[in-house]
Amino acid sequence: MQCVVDEKTQVKFEPTSASKLRIGIMGGTFNPVHIAHLVMAEQVRKQLDLDEIWFIPNNIPPHKEMANSVSAKDRVNMLELATRTNPHFRVMLFEIMRGGVSYTVDTLRYLKRRAPRNQYYLIMGGDEVNDFENWKEPQTISLLATLVGVRRPNYPQNPKYPMIWVDMPDLNISSSWIRQNVATGQSIRYLVPEEVRLYIEQRGLYLGEHRI
């Protein structure tokens, strides 16, 4: 399988100062992207009537250790494969191309400078909602973007900032669980898009990953 993104990939961002789009932002390592990510994005898009969802993979996440067996290139390729059939989904490489630790506040400041009329909606799962106050400059983030929380059944949520809530099916899937399944020879079929499953298999990803 050919890689979707090559070594010369650059961020392409045309000036859109005249545009006024409603854009959902989904950040994360996407290591790997899985079905719950896609369902969450589509549910938010439809329920809030957004124009697009932008998947923005981290370069270096600030709040958790990155599994070191997979390159940024592989993570981006899997995202491209997972999202390419949805015309409302886009993969944006702002954080990877910027390098260093990826802070959401820096990305939102950049987006607001480049396209100040766009409205941004920062999408967070239940665990992120509860940890949001520990992010870098959460108050500034809440001013730059509308916060969107995705409910998790039986998961207590106690947001400290105003938030729009969206419901979605209860899909208890995590990237760490998928990595563990691959490492221990378990099936990940239907947990990730089929093209992503084949990519992982053909590239031999996560075979040395034993952490949950």
pLDDT in tens, 118-148: 999 999 988 888 889 999 999 999 999 999 9
One-letter identity of residue 212: I
**Mean pLDDT across 86-94:** 97
Predicted structure pTM score: 0.88
- CATH classification number, 22-173, choose in 3.40.630.40, 3.40.50.620, 3.30.420.250, 3.40.50.1000: 3.40.50.620
The band of 183, judged by pLDDT with boundaries at 50, 70 and 90, is very high
